[in-house]
Amino acid sequence: MKRREFSAAAGTVLGAAGLGVPGLVLAQRRPQDGKDFRELDRKAAVEAAPGRIEVVEFFWYSCPHCNAFEPKLNAWLRNVPADVSFRRVPVAFRDDFVPQQRLFYTLEAMGKLDEMHSKVFQEIHVHKQPTNRAESILAFVEKNGLDRARFTELYNSADVSGKARRAAQLQDMYQVDGVPAMGVAGRYYTDATMAGTMDRCLQIVDYLVGEVRRAK
């Protein structure tokens, strides 16, 4: 979903990014810079340890394409090479995205992200609960048996605020144009619009990881 396709009034999605079908063969043609992916003019920040290759998924909980991409991404993660360090980064194209950024980093701070990440997507896309403001987020917290007081404390903490701010900065460094999108090693960006489908996007990520590895 492209940035321009967000409705400022309601946060609805007007565009569609293709998810494609499994088994596309990357060898059909060599990925091209400027067409299938983009090399950044200036390297973006990375958090991966030295010697590891960072891969970032940019996402938004309310994005239906991000929700549909989750099973594909999780399948890819099961086979990720040992030298790849993966992390998710929630985007904030507008101020009203920030509560979900804070939700993500609060769950992470509580050690509950692995357990709750998919449940947030389910709450929004299956149970049709927006979960995008403080009140609906707290309702989700209570529904899932989390400590409301502890959640609220962390949600409003300087640490979570800082992580949300750095996420927005990284989004700008990568010049994220829509979600879901992928960044590699602080150097490369690709998404469904560039790659054609998210299946091929992941194949291009594999290709870019290989390029970074060979350049070491």
Per residue in 90-107, pLDDT (tens digit) is 999 999 999 999 999 999
* β partners of residue 53: 84
DSSP per position, 3-46: GGGB-TTT--B--------TT--GGGS---BTTTBEE-SSPPP-
pLDDT tens readout for residues 21-59: 344 445 568 999 999 999 999 999 999 999 999 999 999
pTM: 0.88
CB of 191 within 8 A of CB of 56?
A: no
Domain range 21-215, its CATH number among 3.30.420.10, 3.40.50.10860, 3.40.50.300, 3.40.30.10? 3.40.30.10
